[in-house]
Chain A
Amino acid sequence: MKIKKIKNPSLYDIEVNIHYPYENPEVNRVVIALHSLNISVLCKKQNTKYIISASDIYYIESVDKKTFVCLEKDVLSTHNPLYQLLEDLKSAGFVQISKSCLLNINALEKIRPLFNSRMEAYLSNGEKLLITRKYLNSIKNMLNGEES
Protein backbone atom coordinates (compact mmCIF):
# COMPACT_ATOMS: atom_id res chain seq x y z
CA MET A 1 0.00 0.00 0.00
CA LYS A 2 1.40 3.40 -1.01
CA ILE A 3 0.70 6.44 1.18
CA LYS A 4 0.99 9.88 -0.38
CA LYS A 5 0.72 13.13 1.61
CA ILE A 6 -0.20 16.23 -0.41
CA LYS A 7 -0.27 19.65 1.21
CA ASN A 8 -3.02 21.85 -0.24
CA PRO A 9 -3.60 25.22 1.55
CA SER A 10 -6.84 25.78 -0.41
CA LEU A 11 -8.60 22.95 1.49
CA TYR A 12 -10.54 23.65 4.71
CA ASP A 13 -10.28 20.13 6.11
CA ILE A 14 -8.25 16.97 5.62
CA GLU A 15 -9.40 15.09 2.53
CA VAL A 16 -8.63 11.42 2.04
CA ASN A 17 -9.04 9.66 -1.30
CA ILE A 18 -8.48 5.94 -1.49
CA HIS A 19 -7.50 4.52 -4.88
CA TYR A 20 -7.69 0.75 -5.26
CA PRO A 21 -7.72 -1.72 -8.16
CA TYR A 22 -10.47 -3.90 -6.63
CA GLU A 23 -12.44 -4.00 -3.38
CA ASN A 24 -10.91 -6.32 -0.76
CA PRO A 25 -10.82 -6.62 3.06
CA GLU A 26 -7.69 -4.44 3.23
CA VAL A 27 -9.54 -1.53 1.60
CA ASN A 28 -12.39 -1.95 4.07
CA ARG A 29 -9.94 -1.99 6.99
CA VAL A 30 -8.42 1.31 5.80
CA VAL A 31 -11.93 2.81 5.57
CA ILE A 32 -12.78 1.53 9.08
CA ALA A 33 -9.52 2.95 10.49
CA LEU A 34 -10.22 6.36 8.91
CA HIS A 35 -13.83 6.34 10.12
CA SER A 36 -12.70 5.57 13.66
CA LEU A 37 -10.57 8.75 13.64
CA ASN A 38 -13.60 10.75 12.57
CA ILE A 39 -16.12 9.35 15.06
CA SER A 40 -16.08 10.32 18.71
CA VAL A 41 -18.11 9.59 21.83
CA LEU A 42 -19.03 12.07 24.53
CA CYS A 43 -17.93 10.61 27.87
CA LYS A 44 -17.82 11.72 31.47
CA LYS A 45 -15.48 11.12 34.38
CA GLN A 46 -15.93 12.78 37.78
CA ASN A 47 -18.22 15.50 36.36
CA THR A 48 -15.73 16.40 33.60
CA LYS A 49 -16.81 15.82 30.01
CA TYR A 50 -14.40 14.37 27.43
CA ILE A 51 -14.71 13.76 23.70
CA ILE A 52 -13.08 10.41 23.05
CA SER A 53 -12.10 9.31 19.55
CA ALA A 54 -13.46 5.87 18.62
CA SER A 55 -9.93 4.70 17.79
CA ASP A 56 -8.92 5.23 21.45
CA ILE A 57 -11.74 3.04 22.77
CA TYR A 58 -10.92 -0.62 23.44
CA TYR A 59 -14.39 -1.79 24.43
CA ILE A 60 -17.73 -0.53 25.74
CA GLU A 61 -19.57 -2.38 28.44
CA SER A 62 -23.03 -2.02 29.91
CA VAL A 63 -23.34 -2.82 33.61
CA ASP A 64 -26.55 -2.26 35.59
CA LYS A 65 -28.01 -0.03 32.83
CA LYS A 66 -24.90 2.19 32.88
CA THR A 67 -22.54 2.31 29.91
CA PHE A 68 -18.79 2.35 30.47
CA VAL A 69 -16.24 3.27 27.82
CA CYS A 70 -12.96 1.47 28.40
CA LEU A 71 -9.74 2.96 27.02
CA GLU A 72 -6.26 1.45 27.22
CA LYS A 73 -5.88 2.25 30.92
CA ASP A 74 -8.89 4.38 31.81
CA VAL A 75 -12.65 3.90 32.19
CA LEU A 76 -15.22 6.64 31.54
CA SER A 77 -19.01 6.60 31.49
CA THR A 78 -21.42 7.71 28.78
CA HIS A 79 -25.15 8.37 28.64
CA ASN A 80 -25.56 6.65 25.28
CA PRO A 81 -27.12 3.18 25.39
CA LEU A 82 -25.24 0.23 23.95
CA TYR A 83 -27.52 -0.28 20.92
CA GLN A 84 -27.11 3.40 19.96
CA LEU A 85 -23.33 3.17 20.29
CA LEU A 86 -23.28 0.04 18.13
CA GLU A 87 -25.12 1.92 15.38
CA ASP A 88 -22.77 4.91 15.65
CA LEU A 89 -19.53 2.96 15.94
CA LYS A 90 -20.12 0.07 13.52
CA SER A 91 -18.32 1.90 10.74
CA ALA A 92 -15.39 2.49 13.11
CA GLY A 93 -14.83 -1.25 13.57
CA PHE A 94 -16.95 -1.92 16.64
CA VAL A 95 -18.74 -5.22 16.94
CA GLN A 96 -21.04 -6.74 19.56
CA ILE A 97 -19.43 -9.69 21.36
CA SER A 98 -22.03 -10.33 24.07
CA LYS A 99 -25.35 -8.96 25.24
CA SER A 100 -23.55 -6.25 27.22
CA CYS A 101 -20.29 -5.58 25.39
CA LEU A 102 -19.04 -3.91 22.19
CA LEU A 103 -15.45 -4.48 21.11
CA ASN A 104 -13.18 -2.40 18.90
CA ILE A 105 -11.92 -5.00 16.43
CA ASN A 106 -8.62 -3.11 16.17
CA ALA A 107 -7.96 -3.83 19.86
CA LEU A 108 -8.47 -7.56 19.43
CA GLU A 109 -5.27 -9.65 19.63
CA LYS A 110 -6.65 -13.20 19.54
CA ILE A 111 -9.53 -15.44 20.59
CA ARG A 112 -9.29 -18.57 22.70
CA PRO A 113 -12.09 -21.12 23.13
CA LEU A 114 -13.39 -21.90 26.62
CA PHE A 115 -15.00 -25.18 27.59
CA ASN A 116 -18.46 -23.73 28.27
CA SER A 117 -19.18 -22.91 24.59
CA ARG A 118 -17.95 -19.37 25.10
CA MET A 119 -14.74 -17.69 24.03
CA GLU A 120 -12.22 -15.36 25.54
CA ALA A 121 -10.98 -12.31 23.64
CA TYR A 122 -7.45 -11.12 24.41
CA LEU A 123 -7.04 -7.39 23.88
CA SER A 124 -3.85 -5.53 23.06
CA ASN A 125 -3.87 -3.85 26.50
CA GLY A 126 -3.78 -7.27 28.18
CA GLU A 127 -7.45 -7.36 29.18
CA LYS A 128 -9.69 -10.36 28.55
CA LEU A 129 -13.39 -10.32 27.59
CA LEU A 130 -15.99 -13.04 27.18
CA ILE A 131 -17.47 -13.63 23.73
CA THR A 132 -20.82 -15.36 23.31
CA ARG A 133 -21.04 -17.91 20.50
CA LYS A 134 -24.02 -16.08 19.03
CA TYR A 135 -21.87 -13.04 18.18
CA LEU A 136 -18.89 -14.93 16.72
CA ASN A 137 -20.22 -14.44 13.18
CA SER A 138 -20.26 -10.64 13.60
CA ILE A 139 -16.52 -10.72 14.33
CA LYS A 140 -15.94 -12.99 11.32
CA ASN A 141 -17.94 -10.70 9.05
CA MET A 142 -16.21 -7.59 10.37
CA LEU A 143 -12.78 -9.11 9.68
CA ASN A 144 -13.97 -10.06 6.21
CA GLY A 145 -14.96 -6.46 5.69
CA GLU A 146 -18.63 -7.38 5.15
CA GLU A 147 -20.05 -5.11 7.87
CA SER A 148 -18.25 -1.92 6.92
Chain B
Amino acid sequence: MKKRLITFAKNTLITTGFTLILLAGFALVVGGCAIYVKTIFEALLVNVCIQLSYLLTQKIETSYFILDAFIDITSIVIIALLFGKLFDWFISTPAWVLITISIMTYIACFLFQIVRVKDDIDFINEKLSQKRK
Protein backbone atom coordinates (compact mmCIF):
# COMPACT_ATOMS: atom_id res chain seq x y z
CA MET B 1 0.00 0.00 0.00
CA LYS B 2 2.82 2.39 0.99
CA LYS B 3 4.70 1.53 -2.21
CA ARG B 4 1.55 2.21 -4.27
CA LEU B 5 1.02 5.57 -2.59
CA ILE B 6 4.62 6.57 -3.26
CA THR B 7 4.30 5.54 -6.93
CA PHE B 8 1.02 7.47 -7.18
CA ALA B 9 2.60 10.61 -5.67
CA LYS B 10 5.69 10.26 -7.88
CA ASN B 11 3.64 9.86 -11.06
CA THR B 12 1.40 12.79 -10.12
CA LEU B 13 4.37 15.09 -9.51
CA ILE B 14 6.08 14.03 -12.75
CA THR B 15 2.96 14.66 -14.87
CA THR B 16 2.26 17.96 -13.05
CA GLY B 17 5.81 19.12 -13.76
CA PHE B 18 5.55 18.09 -17.39
CA THR B 19 2.15 19.80 -17.77
CA LEU B 20 3.49 23.05 -16.32
CA ILE B 21 6.56 23.00 -18.57
CA LEU B 22 4.32 22.49 -21.63
CA LEU B 23 1.98 25.25 -20.44
CA ALA B 24 4.93 27.60 -19.97
CA GLY B 25 6.16 26.63 -23.45
CA PHE B 26 2.80 27.47 -25.02
CA ALA B 27 2.61 30.73 -23.04
CA LEU B 28 6.07 31.67 -24.30
CA VAL B 29 5.04 31.04 -27.93
CA VAL B 30 1.99 33.30 -27.65
CA GLY B 31 3.92 36.03 -25.81
CA GLY B 32 2.86 35.29 -22.22
CA CYS B 33 5.28 36.19 -19.44
CA ALA B 34 3.99 34.53 -16.24
CA ILE B 35 1.96 31.67 -14.74
CA TYR B 36 -0.28 32.36 -11.73
CA VAL B 37 0.72 30.59 -8.51
CA LYS B 38 -2.83 29.23 -8.20
CA THR B 39 -2.45 27.63 -11.67
CA ILE B 40 0.34 25.44 -10.29
CA PHE B 41 -1.95 24.05 -7.56
CA GLU B 42 -4.87 23.74 -9.99
CA ALA B 43 -2.64 21.75 -12.34
CA LEU B 44 -1.61 19.53 -9.41
CA LEU B 45 -5.27 18.86 -8.54
CA VAL B 46 -6.09 18.02 -12.19
CA ASN B 47 -3.16 15.61 -12.32
CA VAL B 48 -4.25 13.91 -9.07
CA CYS B 49 -7.69 13.35 -10.65
CA ILE B 50 -6.12 12.13 -13.92
CA GLN B 51 -3.94 9.63 -12.00
CA LEU B 52 -7.03 8.40 -10.12
CA SER B 53 -8.94 7.97 -13.37
CA TYR B 54 -5.92 6.17 -14.85
CA LEU B 55 -6.09 3.66 -11.99
CA LEU B 56 -9.70 2.99 -12.98
CA THR B 57 -9.13 2.82 -16.76
CA GLN B 58 -6.24 0.39 -16.17
CA LYS B 59 -8.85 -2.08 -14.91
CA ILE B 60 -10.47 -2.03 -18.36
CA GLU B 61 -8.48 -4.48 -20.42
CA THR B 62 -9.40 -4.92 -24.08
CA SER B 63 -7.64 -6.98 -26.75
CA TYR B 64 -6.86 -3.83 -28.72
CA PHE B 65 -4.06 -1.48 -27.80
CA ILE B 66 -5.64 1.39 -29.79
CA LEU B 67 -8.91 1.04 -27.85
CA ASP B 68 -7.03 1.01 -24.51
CA ALA B 69 -5.14 4.17 -25.51
CA PHE B 70 -8.37 5.81 -26.75
CA ILE B 71 -10.08 5.15 -23.39
CA ASP B 72 -7.07 6.57 -21.49
CA ILE B 73 -6.77 9.69 -23.66
CA THR B 74 -10.54 10.36 -23.67
CA SER B 75 -10.76 10.22 -19.88
CA ILE B 76 -7.69 12.50 -19.51
CA VAL B 77 -9.05 15.07 -21.97
CA ILE B 78 -12.53 15.06 -20.37
CA ILE B 79 -11.03 15.67 -16.90
CA ALA B 80 -8.75 18.44 -18.23
CA LEU B 81 -11.67 20.17 -19.99
CA LEU B 82 -13.98 19.88 -16.96
CA PHE B 83 -11.37 21.44 -14.68
CA GLY B 84 -10.56 23.99 -17.38
CA LYS B 85 -14.21 25.12 -17.23
CA LEU B 86 -14.23 25.01 -13.39
CA PHE B 87 -11.06 27.11 -13.04
CA ASP B 88 -11.90 29.47 -15.94
CA TRP B 89 -8.76 28.50 -17.85
CA PHE B 90 -10.46 29.12 -21.19
CA ILE B 91 -10.34 32.88 -20.63
CA SER B 92 -6.58 32.79 -21.21
CA THR B 93 -5.99 29.33 -22.76
CA PRO B 94 -7.92 27.96 -25.75
CA ALA B 95 -9.40 24.44 -25.39
CA TRP B 96 -7.16 23.04 -28.16
CA VAL B 97 -4.06 24.03 -26.14
CA LEU B 98 -5.40 22.13 -23.14
CA ILE B 99 -6.21 19.07 -25.29
CA THR B 100 -2.74 19.20 -26.91
CA ILE B 101 -1.02 19.46 -23.50
CA SER B 102 -3.07 16.49 -22.20
CA ILE B 103 -2.23 14.31 -25.21
CA MET B 104 1.46 15.29 -25.19
CA THR B 105 1.70 14.47 -21.45
CA TYR B 106 0.05 11.09 -22.10
CA ILE B 107 2.50 10.30 -24.95
CA ALA B 108 5.51 11.34 -22.80
CA CYS B 109 4.34 9.10 -19.93
CA PHE B 110 3.68 6.26 -22.37
CA LEU B 111 7.23 6.50 -23.77
CA PHE B 112 8.68 6.70 -20.25
CA GLN B 113 6.69 3.60 -19.32
CA ILE B 114 8.07 1.68 -22.34
CA VAL B 115 11.60 2.30 -21.01
CA ARG B 116 10.55 1.18 -17.51
CA VAL B 117 8.87 -1.97 -18.86
CA LYS B 118 12.02 -2.77 -20.87
CA ASP B 119 14.06 -2.59 -17.63
CA ASP B 120 11.56 -4.90 -15.90
CA ILE B 121 11.73 -7.39 -18.79
CA ASP B 122 15.55 -7.39 -18.67
CA PHE B 123 15.38 -8.01 -14.91
CA ILE B 124 12.90 -10.92 -15.34
CA ASN B 125 14.91 -12.52 -18.16
CA GLU B 126 18.08 -12.22 -16.08
CA LYS B 127 16.34 -13.93 -13.14
CA LEU B 128 15.02 -16.67 -15.43
CA SER B 129 18.45 -17.38 -16.86
CA GLN B 130 19.93 -17.48 -13.31
CA LYS B 131 17.21 -19.95 -12.35
CA ARG B 132 18.11 -22.28 -15.22
CA LYS B 133 21.82 -22.41 -14.25
Interface residues, chain A, with chain B CB atoms under 8 Å away: 25, 29, 98-99, 108-113, 116-119, 132-134, 136-137, 139-140, 143-144
Taking a contact as CB atoms under 8 Å apart, the answer to whether B128 and A108 are in contact is yes
Assembly CA distance A104 to B113 (angstroms): 26
Render B70-114 as a binary contact track against A, CB cut-off 8 A, 1 for contact.
Answer: 000000000000000000000000000000000000000010011
CA distance A119 to B117 in the complex (A): 9
Binding stretch for chain A, among B13-21, B22-30, B119-127 = B119-127
Alpha-carbon distance between A113 and B110 when the two chains are bound, in angstroms: 14
Knowing A108-B128, A132-B61 touch, does A117 contact B121 (C-beta < 8 A)?
Answer: no
Q: Which residue of A has the minimal Cβ distance to B118? A: A113
Does the CB pair A136–B120 fall under 8 Å? yes
Closest to B126 in A: A143
**Residues of chain A with a CB closer than 8 A to B117's CB:** 113, 117, 119, 133, 136
Closest beta carbon of chain A to B38's beta carbon, Å: 35
Q: Indicate which residue in B58, B61, B65, B125 contacts A111 across the interface (CB closer than 8 Å).
A: B125
**Contact of A139 with B124 in the complex, beta carbons under 8 Å:** yes
A143 surroundings in chain B (CB, below 8 A): 124, 127-128, 131
Q: What B residues does A29 contact at CB under 8 A?
A: 131
Which residue of chain B has its CB nearest to the CB of A110? B125
Complex A-B: 27 CB contacts under 8 Å: A25-B127, A29-B131, A98-B61, A108-B128, A109-B128, A110-B128, A111-B128, A113-B114, A117-B68, A117-B113, A117-B114, A117-B117, A118-B65, A119-B117, A132-B61, A133-B113, A134-B58, A136-B117, A136-B120, A136-B124, A137-B120, A139-B124, A140-B124, A143-B124, A143-B127, A143-B128, A143-B131
Smallest CB separation, B61 vs chain A (Å)? 5
Main secondary structure of the interface of A (DSSP, over half): mixed
Measured CB to CB, the closest approach of chain B to A26, in angstroms, equals 9
Query: What total count of A-B pairs have CB within 8 Å?
Result: 46
Chain B residues with CB under 8 A of A136: 117, 120-121, 124
A29–B61 CA distance with the chains assembled, in angstroms: 31
With A136-B117, A139-B124, A144-B127 known, 20 other A-B pairs at CB within 8 A are A99-B61, A108-B128, A110-B125, A111-B125, A112-B121, A113-B121, A116-B65, A117-B65, A117-B68, A117-B113, A117-B117, A119-B121, A133-B117, A134-B58, A136-B121, A136-B124, A140-B120, A140-B124, A143-B128, A143-B131
Residues of B whose CB lies within 8 Å of any CB of A are 58, 61, 65, 68, 110, 113-114, 117-118, 120-121, 123-125, 127-128, 131
Q: Report the separation of the CA atoms of residues A134 and B114 in the bound assembly, to the nearest whole angstrom.
A: 13
Quick one: given A110-B128, A133-B117, are A140 and B61 in contact (CB under 8 Å)? no
